[in-house]
Amino acid sequence: MTYFERLGPTSFRATEHVSGAWNEAEQHIAPALGLLAHVIETDRDDRRDDGLVIARLSYDILGTVPVGPVVTTVEVLRPGRTIELVEATLAYDGRTIVRARAWLMQTRATTELAGTTLQPIPSPEESEPWDPTAVWPGGFIGSVEVRRTWVEPGRASFWVRTPIPLVDDEKVSSLAATAGLFDIANGMAVRADPKEVAFPNLDLTVHLFTEPRGEWVGFDTSVSFGADGVGLTSTVLHDTSGPIGTMSQILTVRPF
């Protein structure tokens, strides 16, 4: 009952809980993005003990990937005492599927300066339970719990959590576990029926000013389609204490 099983130092096998959503024979890319955050943090902790935090995660999604074994790599592109830029990749059968870059930063005490003008959203308790399998097939969508406040097509706030661990028998940080849910945003506030229009995202970029805490991750999401086949999903991310960062995904909009 995990999203991935470790096969070796850099290899993992995706389980059936990773499947969907456009094609059940392929991986929903969300857990893979969490896996890359996990291997970046694991590599960091193997190299240093000062606990740099990930402040930005930027993923380029280069293609689809079957539900099966994958191999990861990690490389430090810009080493530093207080700031690092790290790149990780996920590959299937020798083909790179996702390329991730993360900025890692040293923490310092700024409690007296902390604050944001980003607005809160209705809490999980104030949001209605919603079954996303009514819209999307696949093991990943079936593995999550969603509570949603619907506003209009392309606009909603919602909370997501999952009981399924990211990797079997391994300690996974709250950030990596949360990163394994980020890519669900594009499908929870749909602007068009996915049976009539495909709108997969080519990338996903997250900026965090606070590390996520707790099992729930909240999304305040807007979806926009342009007139030339390009779309954008924009999200303010939350935990139950309030806003924690922002996220964006560029879409390729393709009517069937």
Total tally of structural domains belonging to the chain? 1
Q: What dihedral angle (degrees, nearest 10) is formed by the CA atoms of 73, 200, 54, 161? A: -110
One-character DSSP codes across 144-200: -EEEEEEEETTEEEEEEE-SS-SBTTS---HHHHHHTTGGGHHHHS-SS-TTTEE--
Instruction: Look at residue 63 in the predicted model and tell me its pLDDT.
Output: 96
> pLDDT exceeding 70 applies to what percent of the chain?
100
CA distance linking residue 190 with residue 136, whole number of Å: 11
Estimate to the nearest angstrom the gap between the alpha carbon of 97 and the chain centroid.
15
Q: How far apart are CA 27 and CA 97, in angstroms?
A: 11
Q: For residue 57, is it within any domain?
A: yes
Give CA–CA dist 134/222, Å, rounded. 20
Per the listing, tokens 């028998």 go with: 169
Examine residue 83 and state whether it is found in any structural domain, yes or no.
Answer: yes
User: How many Cα atoms occupy the beta-carbon half-sphere of 228 within 13 Å?
Assistant: 0
Give residue 169's region: left, alpha or beta (phi > 0; psi -120 to 50): left
Residue 116 lies in a domain: no
Distance (Å, whole) CA 30 – CA 235: 15
- Provide the pLDDT for residue 164: 98
The per-residue pLDDT for 101 is 98
Helix (H, G, I), strand (E, B) or coil at 88: strand
Mean pLDDT confidence for 173-190: 97
- State residue 247's pLDDT score: 98
Instruction: Give me the mean pLDDT over the 160-178 stretch.
Output: 97
| Cα–Cα nearest to 90, from 73, 102, 106, 78 | 73
Alpha-carbon 15 to chain mean position:
17
Q: Give domain status of residue 229, yes or no.
A: yes
Whether 131 maps to a domain, the answer reads yes
126: domain CATH number is: 2.40.160.210
Would you state the pLDDT for residue 208? 98
Burial of 159 (0-12, 13-18, 19+ CB in 10 A): buried
Q: What is the mean pLDDT of the chain?
A: 97
Closest to 220 (Cα-Cα) out of 148, 167, 131: 148
Taking alpha carbons only, the member of 190, 166, 155 closest to residue 3 is 166
Q: Which residues pair with 147 in a beta bridge?
A: 129, 159
Q: Are 2 and 172 in contact (CB under 8 A)?
A: no
Residue 26 lies in a domain: yes
Task: Name the residue range of residue 89's domain.
Answer: 4-106+121-255
87-105 average pLDDT score = 98
Q: Is residue 113 part of a domain?
A: no
Q: Looking at residue 228, what is its pLDDT?
A: 97
The model's pTM is 0.97
- Determine, yes or no, domain membership for 197: yes
